[in-house]
Structure 1
Amino acid sequence: MERFFSWRNLEHRPSHGSIETLVLCYKRCQLTEGNVYADVETALKSDANLPDCVYIVGTTQQYNIFKAAWDPTNIHLQTMIKRGMKAGFDFVKQYTFAEWNGANFQQHSLGQEPGPYKMDLKRLMSRAVYSLIEKNNAVHQAPSGHVFKHPSQRRNKVFIQAREIASGEAELYVVAYLIALCHGEALQGSCKVFIDTMGIYAYVKCALALCRSEAEIVSFHSYDELEKINPPPEPYFCIISASTSGSMAGNMASSVWDPERIATIVDVTSQGRAGDVMVALDSMGVAFPDLKVSDGTLIEIIGENFSSKAKPPRPVVIGQPHTPKALADFHEYFGFSIYPFNTRIATKSKLLQLDVTKVLEHKEFQKWLNAEIDWSFPLTVSHVIHADDEASKVLAGIVVDRLSARLAAGLSITVTPYHELEKDNCKDATGVVIVSTVARDGGVLREISRDLRSYINADIPRHFLSPIGIPQTNESWNQLRMFLVRNSTPREYGFANWIQLPLGEDSDDNSWYRLITAYEAHSDKNIHDLELGSLNDTSNIFPSLELAGKAALNAFNGFLASPRGNKLSLSEGFLFFGDSTDIAKRYAEVEPSMVYLTISAVLQSAREYKEHERRLRPNGYESVVLAPECFLRFNDAILQACMLRACQPAELDYSSSPELSKIMKELLVKVFVRCDKDFGDAALEFAAAIAVGSLRLAKRDMETLLDDALEQHASKQSELLGMLVLAKQASH
Structure 2
Amino acid sequence: MDDRKRNITVLFVSSSRLSAQEAGQLLAEHFAGVSYPDEIWILGIADNRTTVADLARHQDLKDRVPGFTRFRDTPVLLPFVVNMDGGIESVDGQALAPPVVAAVFSYGLVSIFRAHNGMLDAHAGYHYVKPSKRHSDHFLRTANVLLYGAEVEFIAAAILRRVAGRQVHRIYTDSSSINSLGLSLADLLSRLRGDVRPSVDSFSSYQGLKSDFIIEPDEKSFALISASTSGGLVDELESTRQISRDQQLIVFYVGPPLSEQLVLQDLTSGANELGYIDPFQSWEPKECPLCDQNQSTVIIQGDQFLPASPTVTGRMIGTKDAPSWLNPFMRDVAGKGIITCRLGNRTFYLQIGKVLSGDAGMFSERISAAIERYIPAATEWIVPLDDRDSQLLAEGIQSHLANLGVKIESDHVISARALTEGSHQPLAGGVVVVVASVVVSGRALLNVSRALRTLHPDQPISYFVTLMRTPGEAEARDLEVNLAWGPRGAQFDVHTVTKVFVPNEREVEASTWDRERKFLTVVAERIQKMDQSARIADQLAAIKKRIEELRGPSVGQLFLPGIDADGNEFDLELRPNFAFWSFQPTPKASQADVFFTMTSVLHALRNSRRSASLTRDHNWNVLDPRNFSRFNDGVIQASLLRAALPYELDYSTDAAMSHQMQAIVDASLNSADPAESSAMSEFLLALCTGTLRLEDPDLQLMAHSLKHIAAGSDLRAALAEYFRVVVVDIPAEQQT
Query: Per-residue CA shift, 1:507-535, capped at 9, x if unaligned?
Result: 461221111111212322379999xxxxx
Q: Answer yes or no: is the 8 Å Cα contact 1:464–1:494 preserved in 2.
A: yes
Distance 2:265 2:52 in 1: 29
Q: Secondary structure of 2:237's partner?
A: helix
Q: Does 1:76 align with 2:76?
A: no
Match of 1:521 in 2: 522
TM-fit CA distance, 1:277:
0.5
Aligned counterpart for 1:183 among listed residues 160, 163, 167: 163
Aligned counterpart for 2:13 among listed residues 2, 26, 37: 26
**Residues 204/290 of structure 1: CA separation in 2 closer, same or farther (3 Å cut):** closer
Match of 2:571 in 1: 567
Q: Answer yes or no: is the 8 Å Cα contact 1:190–1:215 preserved in 2.
A: yes
Moved more, 171-180 or 656-665: 171-180
Q: Secondary structure of 2:348's partner?
A: coil
- TM (norm. structure 2) is 0.84
Query: Per-residue CA shift, 1:399-419, capped at 9, x if unaligned?
Result: 344456669899999221222
**Residues 414/159 of structure 1: CA separation in 2 closer, same or farther (3 Å cut):** same
Distance 2:495 2:14 in 1: 43
Match of 1:662 in 2: 659
TM-fit CA distance, 1:263:
0.9
Distance 2:83 2:264 in 1: 21
Q: Letter of the aligned partner of 1:217 in structure 2? A: V
**Residues 233/181 of structure 1: CA separation in 2 closer, same or farther (3 Å cut):** closer
Distance 1:220 1:115 in 2: 37
Match of 1:62 in 2: 48
Q: Does 1:36 align with 2:20?
A: yes
Q: Does 1:258 align with 2:253?
A: no
Q: Does 1:357 align with 2:376?
A: no
Moved more, 272-281 or 627-636: 272-281
Distance 1:290 1:429 in 2: 50
TM-fit CA distance, 1:456:
4.3
Q: Answer yes or no: is the 8 Å Cα contact 2:426–2:456 preserved in 1.
A: yes
Aligned counterpart for 1:554 among listed residues 532, 549, 563: 549
**Residues 41/687 of structure 1: CA separation in 2 closer, same or farther (3 Å cut):** closer
Moved more, 628-637 or 391-400: 391-400
TM-fit CA distance, 1:322:
1.4
Query: Per-residue CA shift, 1:203-232, capped at 9, x if unaligned?
Result: 111111111142222321122433555653
Q: CA RMSD in A?
A: 3.5
Q: Answer yes or no: is the 8 Å Cα contact 2:122–2:137 preserved in 1.
A: yes
Distance 1:220 1:330 in 2: 56
Q: Answer yes or no: is the 8 Å Cα contact 1:261–1:275 preserved in 2.
A: no
Match of 2:433 in 1: 433
Q: Does 1:107 align with 2:106?
A: no
Q: Answer yes or no: is the 8 Å Cα contact 1:370–1:402 preserved in 2.
A: no
Moved more, 131-140 or 379-388: 379-388
Match of 1:8 in 2: none
The percentage of aligned residue pairs carrying the same residue is 20
TM-fit CA distance, 1:243:
0.6
**Residues 30/568 of structure 1: CA separation in 2 closer, same or farther (3 Å cut):** closer
Distance 1:155 1:488 in 2: 46
Q: Does 1:399 align with 2:385?
A: no
Q: Answer yes or no: is the 8 Å Cα contact 1:382–1:430 preserved in 2.
A: yes
Q: Does 1:328 align with 2:310?
A: no
Distance 1:85 1:353 in 2: 25
Distance 1:651 1:355 in 2: 30
Distance 1:224 1:528 in 2: 61
Aligned counterpart for 1:687 among listed residues 684, 689, 692: 684
**Residues 375/110 of structure 1: CA separation in 2 closer, same or farther (3 Å cut):** farther
Q: Secondary structure of 2:692's partner?
A: coil
Match of 1:171 in 2: 151
TM-fit CA distance, 1:137:
1.3
Q: Answer yes or no: is the 8 Å Cα contact 1:691–1:730 preserved in 2.
A: yes
Moved more, 640-649 or 279-288: 279-288
Distance 1:591 1:636 in 2: 13
Aligned counterpart for 1:641 among listed residues 638, 643, 662: 638
Q: Secondary structure of 2:562's partner?
A: coil
Distance 1:43 1:320 in 2: 42
Distance 1:480 1:106 in 2: 31
Distance 2:689 2:450 in 1: 38
Q: Answer yes or no: is the 8 Å Cα contact 2:142–2:178 preserved in 1.
A: yes
Match of 1:161 in 2: 141
Distance 1:200 1:364 in 2: 55
Q: Does 1:91 align with 2:74?
A: yes
Match of 1:281 in 2: 267
Q: Answer yes or no: is the 8 Å Cα contact 2:176–2:202 preserved in 1.
A: yes
Match of 1:534 in 2: none
Match of 2:298 in 1: 299
Distance 1:665 1:644 in 2: 14
Distance 2:108 2:486 in 1: 22
Distance 1:386 1:27 in 2: 41
Aligned counterpart for 2:106 among listed residues 112, 116, 126: 126
Match of 1:722 in 2: 718
Q: Letter of the aligned partner of 1:569 in structure 2? A: E
Query: Per-residue CA shift, 1:433-482, capped at 9, x if unaligned?
Result: 2211122333432333344345444x443332222123334444334334
Q: Letter of the aligned partner of 1:310 in structure 2? A: P
Q: Which runs of 5+ in 1 are unaligned?
A: 1-12, 531-536
Distance 1:26 1:336 in 2: 51
Q: Which runs of 5+ in 2 are unaligned?
A: 730-736
Q: Secondary structure of 2:382's partner?
A: strand
Q: Does 1:219 align with 2:199?
A: no
Q: Answer yes or no: is the 8 Å Cα contact 1:70–1:110 preserved in 2.
A: no
Match of 2:444 in 1: 444
- TM (norm. structure 1) is 0.85
Q: Answer yes or no: is the 8 Å Cα contact 1:690–1:731 preserved in 2.
A: no
Q: Letter of the aligned partner of 2:251 in structure 1? A: I
**Residues 700/450 of structure 1: CA separation in 2 closer, same or farther (3 Å cut):** farther
TM-fit CA distance, 1:680:
1.1
**Residues 674/546 of structure 1: CA separation in 2 closer, same or farther (3 Å cut):** farther
Q: Answer yes or no: is the 8 Å Cα contact 1:129–1:165 preserved in 2.
A: no
